Amino acid sequence: MLLTACAIALASTGCGPFNKLLKSGDNDKIYAEGRAQLDAAKYNRAIMCFEQVQPYFVGTMREDSLAYYMAYAHFKNDDFTTSSELLDEFRRKYTRSPFLEDVEGMYALSFYYLSPEPMRDQTTTTQALTAIQEFLGRYPNSTRRAAFEQMVRELTQKQYDKVLINAKTYYTIGRYKSAVPALKNALKKYPDTPHREELMYLIVKSSYELAHNSIESLQRDRYMAMMDSYYSFVAEFPESKHVKELSRMQEEAKKYIAKFGDPNQEKPATEENTTK
């Protein structure tokens, strides 16, 4: 489909000599023209040349070069889905190619550019992180190191943001029973997240709302769980702007527990339960 679209576009601009070359069957000249178009940043034309001659150079000294130029052209043309596929195929097939480091760098960058905003699925972000970290492990002295380390920070932040968005959604829509484990799992998965204070704050609030809106038989245990979360929050963030708000909830929980008694408190001795 891409080749057809390119051919139509080229025909409409009157590229007679180029079309004539493609039809000539002179593979060496078409290959050379592909290189020239690549250097001129005319990536669609380069791709057309390389696609046409690729079958003829299988098994030759030009095979890996042609595969590299094809992937490079797609990468520079911002077709990162195709480039990631071609680059992955290259790095698995041509393990001793002199292009390998550049290929693995572009492979990682393809996923980096495909990584979506935090509100969307972050599978590609995970792939980008894996590819970049693999590259840094294989090429620790690469000139790309500083840029790639910055990308790792950006991509990791997206993961932090995505987890917060997902967990917070349950709280926002009032599904507090689901919000509590979702928020706790977010902390467990990313304990160093910059959203740690907000996640712990929402755990306390969700726990409070869950207890407050529960049937009487469940309220005491849920208020006690809420108080545990509250003490954890205050211990870690004693100067937080949320402390005053959460303290009011904690006081309400204490009053409820005091009113109905502590289930762990021993029952007072009576004639009935002391007489054998």
How far apart CA 119 and CA 29 sit, in angstroms, is 48
Whether 67 contacts 94, CB under 8 Å: yes
pLDDT of residue 53: 94
Cα 178 to Cα 181: distance, rounded to the nearest angstrom: 6
Q: If residue 254 lies in a helix (H) or strand (E), which one and from where to where? A: helix 243-260
Q: What is the pLDDT of residue 15?
A: 56
Q: Tell me, what's the pLDDT at 268?
A: 45
Close Cβ partners of 83 (under 8 Å, ≥ 6 residues apart): 71, 72, 74, 75, 106, 107, 110
Q: Tell me which H or E stretch contains 80.
A: helix 80-93
- Locate the domains of the chain by residue range: 174-261
Q: What pLDDT, on the 0 to 100 scale, is given for residue 12?
A: 45
One-letter amino acid of 93: K
Q: Give 233's contacts (C-beta < 8 A, 6+ positions apart).
A: 200, 201, 203, 204, 240, 242, 243, 246
* CA end-to-end span of the chain: 90
**pTM to 2 decimals?**
0.79
pLDDT for res 262 = 55
State residue 75's pLDDT score: 98
* CA contacts within 13 A on the Cβ side of 204: 26
10-residue stretch averages of pLDDT, the chain, 276 residues long? 47 68 89 95 96 92 95 98 97 95 98 96 97 97 97 96 93 95 95 96 96 90 95 96 96 88 48 36
Give the pLDDT of residue 264. Answer: 52
